Chains A and B, each alone.
Chain A
Amino acid sequence: MERVLGNNYGNQPIAKAKNMSNESVTARSIEELDSVVIRFVGDSGDGMQLTGTEFSKAVAKAGHGFVTHPDYPSEIRAPTGTLYGVSGYQIQYSSSQVFTSGDAPDVLVVMNPAALKTNLPDVKHGGILIVNSSAFTPGNLEKAKYESNPLTDGSLQGYRLYAIDISTLTANALADSGLGKKEVGMCKNYFSLGLMMCLYSRPVDKEITDIEKKFAKKPKIAAANTTALRAGYAYAEATEMFAVSYQMRESTPKPGKYRSITGNTASALGFVAASEISGVPLFIGSYPITPATEILQELSGFKHYNVTSFQAEDEIAGICSTIGAAYSGALGVTTTSGPGLALKTEAMGLAAILEIPMVIVDVQRAGPCTGIPTKTEQSDLLQAVYGRNGECPIPVIAANSPSDCFDAALEAFRIAVKYMTPVILLTEGGIGQAAEPWLIPDVASLPKMEVKYLTDPKGFQAYARDENLARAWVRPGTPGMEHRIGGLEKDALTGNISSEPLNHQIMCETRAAKVAGIAKDFPPLKVEGPAKGELLVIGWGSTYGAIAQAWQKANAAGKSVAFVHLRHLNPMPSDLGDIISRYKKVLVPETNLGQLSRLLRERYLRDVIQLNKIQGKPLKVAEIYDRILELC
């Protein structure tokens, strides 16, 4: 399946987009944009995730490509106005390819002083600040550790500041709504959404339908939010404050049906797809953990498919119930994040020595230990590849974007059932919870997945192997094939307990060879740029977008730089060594302290140059681009 990077959509005529205009409104110039990065920030209770999501939906419906990055604190409702309680949602959308949620916001929509304080350093010089001035009270300023009001003290001179009394304007608009003060206050995110939709030439009618659907059971709230949305739109339209509106430039669309999808939803759909394509029931045994929980939640709602969901008592029971189900012939999946993967370690060893197929998803987050649960990181790679007792090889693959999780989930199961092995699928918080448009695949176009159970007891040996070194999958309940296996080392053929020295060596080597052999199925790596030269950039996981864009820029600037991105981390693709040897330098950008770098050095006896960022944030295009320029 092709991943849609080219957010190549058509544009809407200005007249249609501005359907709320009336003739009398002051004429305003329209500025055409190629791309824009907008960040909505406020208290974790201000509804910024909702505003961001709704804005991205409006952008999507206009046919623009986008990538989002939700960034929120661990506290569900941190004390209001505090610096650590700030929640944000960033979106980049464009007329051409969108690779990331953007390095620096062009526009910051700010609901309170704390949000301004924590986000201003990221905003582009000269960028637009749309600020809810009513929240800039002495109390809130103090909480944000401002000595004077930045809206009036001149400190924001380098930006285009629009201080708008959003709270009061919302309250005025809702004076007749019959709602209480608190409920009115909660509508201000829709006011700011309306304002942004006007400024960026997005129609609001679809949004109103969505509000009516979303608050169907609370018609009063629906009406209030609609009013706030319209008021925000009308305000932006009427006020002379904004001299320009923005219009995204036109581009060539790739036809088809799209939806906005997060990585966790895409993973869930990928697992259902694996089940439907193979005709084998899906079992998920998991324990909730940020930022992986949504996969369990999604699958729990798919019981009308062939899906059994089991919220286990802990991480260990999550994987163990999955092992039990997989042993019984189901497609078993367990989902977690770093600390949970650590807890599942021993059971992964059991799955490996039992040689049963299953998938373990690690939606990585900032560690170590509990770390920063809501922030993204790529720091479980070594844990995934090596973190078990004994010689315990397990295949590891990684998704590189939200929609790519669908393909990765399918591939994980394909490897698992073909080779009778647990497979670790690494995604990241920054993929799992971020959204992008997805060209919905035609089910008929998905490659088939064949699952065979052995049912013929004639000559059955539990650990006899096929040409891929995979043993047979035998479902309990199959007559005449009753057998006993477990976590003890076993005879290479019968599977009975064996602590015979040579047999153990054979088993360790066979398990290693089986996993190494998976590489023969990998397609040749796709190298972007010159086939040999000065510099090769190697990435994995979510850094795909930032590296691709940095590479594109460097390539356009005439630099001798190539780029390759790894889906398969264990085993590694067999052509990678040869590719590496064709470049003088190798650069490995990662959001950890150099885990892929270590693997590459170990594997290819080749030094690599590390580019590491470990701040719970994605790598920026500029950070990678600058390093490329330094190196070639």
Chain B
Amino acid sequence: MMTDMTVATPIQALTKKDFESGLDVRWCPGCGDYAVLSQITKLMPKLGIPRENYAFVSGIGCSSRFPYYVNTYGLHSIHGRAPAIASGVKLANPDMSVWVVTGDGDALAIGGNHFIHAVRRNIGLKIILLNNRIYGLTKGQYSPTSEMGKKTKTTPLGNIDQPFSPVALALGAGATFAARCIDSDQAMMAAILERAAKHEGTAFVEILQNCVVFNDGAFDMLSDKATRDDTRMVMEHGKPLIFGKDRNKGIRLRGMDMEVVTIGENGVTAADILVHDENAAHSGLAFSLGQFESPNFPVPFGVFRDVDKPSYEALSKQLAESARAAKGRGDLQRLLNSGDTWTIK
């Protein structure tokens, strides 16, 4: 479609500041969203994409204010619909780098359908889900990722909804790139965002993000230096899935299931530990990892899955090209004259 992009801005000269819109950022002081904004604006000048070729699309919620703060094209749309709108943006102009910034309510409740279908199609969107496990903008109701038993304004007696794992959901929908990180670990976030940005097709990143007002401390166990080594597991491609302060705990495959084992105990050796494979033919193991929950399992961080598949926009372009190759460029008069015609003289 429209690909006559004008590259005017000297890309190399761009800095983080060039990507900040200058509008007052209106998140609560201490909100985890600031860290994400900072990392994304820091990453953008590094990607070699002209500023005008970025579009940020969002829905509704605290995280969905994001586009206003980035100095690119931005569309702050309606609740849950950002993946659908962004799909149209990408299809109409595949040269754009299109980012969806969303939240646990926006992407997984009201927008669940658009989310899974965008992921299923492998359309070239970078979907960044800021998961604070609570509804912030409406002031503290439970979300699709709130844990069982959680007391919120709409669950005064405790939550009885089973929560989603966003990563498992994305993998179930066929994600070709799925990753998780946390707002407090900026170095890891930067690395993951960069890989997501360069991925062909849909790249899904869940960022655990602390809501200081309505769910403060939700991820303390995962961010505190004192506890995090035992509660989280950083996955690296081609390396064994090991965690713990002493780096002696790991994940072992038992049949189709996974279990936590301690190296050196009960005859377990380093060789028994499952080696992480981001490029596995099937997403089964990644899906299992995506379902790991505290306290019985460590919460995995890093890239769960990264595989190559043609993007939807590439296939769409290919269809048009092969149709033109087979039939020739369409001619309007010929089209109008097609079908059963007859002439009256």
Contact = CB atoms under 8 A, between A and B. Distances in A.
B316 A308 contact: yes
Interface in B57-96: 57-58, 67-68, 70-78, 81, 84-93, 95-96
Interface string A251-287: 0011111111100010001001100110001010100
Closest 6 pairs between A and B when the two form their complex, measured CB to CB:
A324-B88, A486-B76, A484-B74, A305-B330, A320-B84, A321-B88
A619 interface: no
Contacts of B74: 482-486
Contacts of B55: 476
A320 B60 CA distance: 14
A347 B81 contact: yes
B23 interface: yes
Highest count of chain B CB atoms <10 Å: which of A261, A323, A328, A349: A328
27 contacts: A258-B342, A259-B338, A259-B340, A261-B339, A283-B91, A304-B327, A305-B330, A308-B91, A310-B91, A316-B81, A321-B88, A323-B77, A323-B85, A324-B57, A324-B75, A325-B89, A329-B92, A347-B78, A440-B336, A475-B2, A476-B53, A477-B6, A477-B73, A483-B74, A486-B58, A486-B75, A487-B78
Contacts of B328: 304
A588 B54 CA distance: 52
Interface size bracket, A side? 35 or more
A5 interface: no
B332 interface: yes
A276 B332 contact: yes
Interface centre among A303, A314, A350 (most CB of B within 10 A): A303
A269 B78 contact: no
A61 B342 contact: yes
Interface string B182-209: 0000000000000000000000000000
Most buried by B among A261, A305, A332: A305
A325 B335 contact: no
A285 B1 CA distance: 15
Contact of B344 (A63, A285, A496): A63
A60 B340 contact: yes
B319 interface: yes
A330 B3 CA distance: 12
A259 to B, nearest CB: 5
Given A276-B332, A478-B6, A346 B92 contact: no
A440 B336 CA distance: 7
A496 B76 CA distance: 11
Interface string B39-61: 00000000000111111111000
B329 interface: yes
B92 A479 contact: no
A482 B72 contact: yes
B52 to A, nearest CB: 5
Nearest to B91: A308
Interface in A532-572: none
Q: How large is the interface on B (under 10, 10 to 19, 20 to 34, 35 or more residues)?
A: 35 or more
A153 interface: no
A511 interface: no
Given A258-B343, A259-B337, A308-B320, A317 B84 contact: yes
Given A258-B342, A313-B116, 8 more contacts: A253-B344, A257-B342, A276-B330, A303-B320, A321-B85, A443-B336, A476-B55, A484-B73
A473 to B, nearest CB: 12
B281 interface: no
Contact of A496 (B23, B75, B324): B23
Interface string A282-307: 01010000000000000000111110
Given A10-B344, A255-B344, A257-B342, A346 B78 contact: yes
B81 A320 contact: yes
Given A324-B57, A324-B86, A476 B330 contact: no
A180 interface: no
Given A313-B113, A486-B76, A269 B344 contact: no
Query: Which of A322, A476, A480, A487 has most B Cβ within 10 Å?
Result: A476
A536 B246 CA distance: 91
A9 interface: yes
B74 to A, nearest CB: 4
B319 A303 contact: yes
B202 to A, nearest CB: 14
Nearest to A334: B88
Interface of A: 9-10, 57, 60-61, 63, 253-261, 265, 269, 272-273, 276-277, 281, 283, 285, 302-306, 308, 310, 312-314, 316-317, 320-330, 332, 346-347, 349-350, 354, 440-443, 475-488, 496-497
Given A480-B8, A485-B75, A257 B86 contact: no
Contacts of A276: 330, 332
A486 B92 contact: no
Instruction: Please indicate which of the listed interface residues A258, A310, A349 has the most CB atoms of chain B within 10 Å of its own CB.
Output: A310
B15 interface: no
B323 interface: yes
Contacts of B78: 320, 346-347, 349-350, 487
B345 interface: yes
Contacts of A254: 344
B89 A324 contact: yes
**Max chain A C-beta neighbours (<10 A), residue from B54, B81, B92, B113:** B92
A265 B338 CA distance: 11
A12 to B, nearest CB: 12
B89 A304 contact: no
Contacts of A283: 1, 88, 91-92
B330 A302 contact: yes
Contacts of B324: 303-304
Interface in B289-345: 316, 319-320, 323-324, 326-330, 332-333, 335-345
Contacts of B96: 328, 476-477
B52 A488 contact: no
A347 B1 CA distance: 24
A27 to B, nearest CB: 30
Contact of B87 (A310, A479, A487): A310
A269 B336 contact: yes
Contacts of B67: 484, 486
A269 B332 CA distance: 9
A425 B6 CA distance: 35
Contacts of B70: 484
B117 A313 contact: yes
Given A256-B344, A312-B84, A321-B85, A328 B93 contact: yes
B60 to A, nearest CB: 8
A325 B88 contact: yes
Contacts of B227: none
Contacts of B137: none
Contacts of B71: 482
A503 to B, nearest CB: 17
A320 B85 contact: yes
B269 interface: no
B5 interface: yes
Contacts of B91: 283, 308, 310, 321, 324-325
B339 A260 contact: yes
Contacts of A347: 78, 81
B9 A258 contact: no
Contacts of A9: 344
B341 A258 contact: yes
Given A328-B93, A479-B8, A63 B342 contact: yes
A246 B323 CA distance: 46
Nearest to A406: B336
A549 to B, nearest CB: 22
Contacts of A63: 342, 344
A329 B113 contact: no
A484 B21 contact: yes
B114 interface: yes
A63 B6 CA distance: 53
Given A476-B96, A479-B50, A257 B1 contact: no
Contacts of B9: 479-480
